[in-house]
Amino acid sequence: MAGLSFDLIALQLFTGLALGAIYVLFAIGLSLIFGMLTVVNFAHGAFYMVGAYVGLFLLSMGSNFWLCIVAVPLIVGSVGMMVERFLVRPLYGRGVDYPLLLTFGLSYIMVELVRIAFGTSGYPFETPELLQGAVDIGVGYFPLYRLFVIGAAVVVLLGLWLFLERTSFGLIIRAGARDPQIVRVLGVDVSRVWLVVFGIGTAIAGLAGLLAAPLQGVIPEMGATILAEAFVVTVVGGMGSIGGAVIAGLLVGVVVSMTSLFAPEMAKVSIFALMAIVLLIRPQGFFGRAGLMS
C-alpha cells in the first residue's frame, strides 16, 4: 500500500488507543454496576446522553466547561441513585432479566423526555477554548482535546482504583459484591453500598457523555450506538471486571483503528468479529468469572 510509513502506523495506533480510552470511560461504569450489583444496566447509554445534555444546559446558564466536569457527574450520579433507590432496588433477588428489562424501558423514557425538553435535532457543543487545536506528538498532529480525554480516563480509573482498594468503604463494596449476606450479618447496610455503587457508575457515564459531547455534538440518540459497543467491550473483558473493561476497551479501539487503515468499511464489523473470536476461545471473556450471569 502506497504511503504506508512508520509514522502513519504509529499515529494510527495512538488514535486507536485514544478511541479506546473513550470506550473504557464508558464501559467501566457499566462493568462496575454489573460486577457489584449483577444489574445489566441498559440505561447506561441514556445516562451518558443525559450527562451531555446537563452539560449543555449548564453552559447555556453561563457555566463553563470546567465547572461542568465537576457538576455533571454529581447531578447524573444523583439521578442514578434515585433510580437505584426507587426502581432497581425492588427487583433485587429476582434474577438478571428483571432489572435488565426495567433499565431498557427506562432508557426509552429518558430519551423521550429529553426529546420533549430539548427537541430532536441536536445541538452543537464547542470544544473548550483551552483545548482547541492539535499538537505534535512526535509522529504527527493529534487533537489536544482527545489527549485531554485520555488524561481524564486515567484520572477516573486511578480514582476508582484508590477508592475501591484503599478505602474502608471500598473494602465493604468489594466484600458486598462477593457475599452480601455475610456483610449484612456483620452489621453493614448493604443496600446503602449498592446505592453508592450505582451512583458512581452512572456518574461516570454522565461524565463520559459530557466528554464525548465536544467530539460529536449532542443528540438524544447518542447513547444508543455507544451502548452496543460498550457491551462488546464488557463481554470481551469479562462481564463485571473493571480491569477487563480497561484492557478490552483499549484493544477494541486499536482493532477499529487498524481495520480502518486497511479496510475502512469493515471498521464497525471488526468490533463484533473480535467479540466472536474472543467468545469462541474464552466464553467468559478475558477476566470474567464463569457463571456470573446464571
Q: How far is the CB of 111 from other proteins (least distance, A)?
A: 13
Regarding 118 and contact with other proteins (CB under 8 A), the answer is no
Q: How far is the CB of 256 from other proteins (least distance, A)?
A: 6
Q: Please select the residue that binds other proteins; options are 93, 124, 138, 187, rule is CB under 8 A.
A: 124
Task: Work out whether the CA dihedral 239, 243, 249, 251 comes out positive or negative.
Answer: negative
Strand runs labelled E in 101-260: 134-136, 141-143
User: Position 19: which residue type?
Assistant: L
Q: How far is the CB of 112 from other proteins (least distance, A)?
A: 12
For residues 285 and 244, is the Cβ–Cβ distance under 8 A?
yes
Q: Please select the residue that binds other proteins; options are 128, 170, 217, 243, rule is CB under 8 A.
A: 217
289/287 Cα distance (integer angstroms): 7
For residues 232 and 274, is the Cβ–Cβ distance under 8 A?
yes
Torsion angle in degrees (nearest 10) through CA of 202, 203, 209, 213: 160
Regarding 16 and contact with other proteins (CB under 8 A), the answer is yes
Regarding 120 and contact with other proteins (CB under 8 A), the answer is yes
Regarding 5 and contact with other proteins (CB under 8 A), the answer is yes
Q: Please select the residue that binds other proteins; options are 42, 53, 142, 194, rule is CB under 8 A.
A: 142
294/292 Cα distance (integer angstroms): 6
Q: Please select the residue that binds other proteins; options are 89, 174, 184, 268, rule is CB under 8 A.
A: 268
* C-alpha grid cell, residue 8: 502513519
Smallest Cα–Cα separation from 233: which of 14, 34, 10? 34
Regarding 18 and contact with other proteins (CB under 8 A), the answer is yes
Indicate the burial class of 161 (C-beta count within 10 angstroms; 0-12, 13-18, 19 or more). middle
Touching other proteins, residues 233-262 (CB under 8 A): 256-257, 260-261
Query: In this complex, which beta carbon is closest to other proteins, that of residue 122 or of residue 170?
Result: 122
**How many residues interact with other proteins (rule CB under 8 A)?**
43
Q: Please select the residue that binds other proteins; options are 62, 138, 264, 291, rule is CB under 8 A.
A: 264
Q: Please select the residue that binds other proteins; options are 38, 63, 78, 127, rule is CB under 8 A.
A: 127
Instruction: State how far Cα 127 lies from the chain centre.
Output: 20
Regarding 3 and contact with other proteins (CB under 8 A), the answer is yes
Q: Please select the residue that binds other proteins; options are 70, 109, 130, 134, rule is CB under 8 A.
A: 134
Regarding 138 and contact with other proteins (CB under 8 A), the answer is no
Regarding 219 and contact with other proteins (CB under 8 A), the answer is yes
Long-range contact list for 268-273, CB < 8 A, 24+ apart?
A: 271/229, 271/232, 272/232
The position carrying cell 506528538 is: 137
The residues that touch other proteins, with contacts defined as CB under 8 A, are 3, 5, 7-8, 11-12, 15-16, 18-19, 22, 120-127, 132-134, 140-143, 145-146, 215-217, 219, 222, 225-226, 256-257, 260-261, 264-265, 267-268
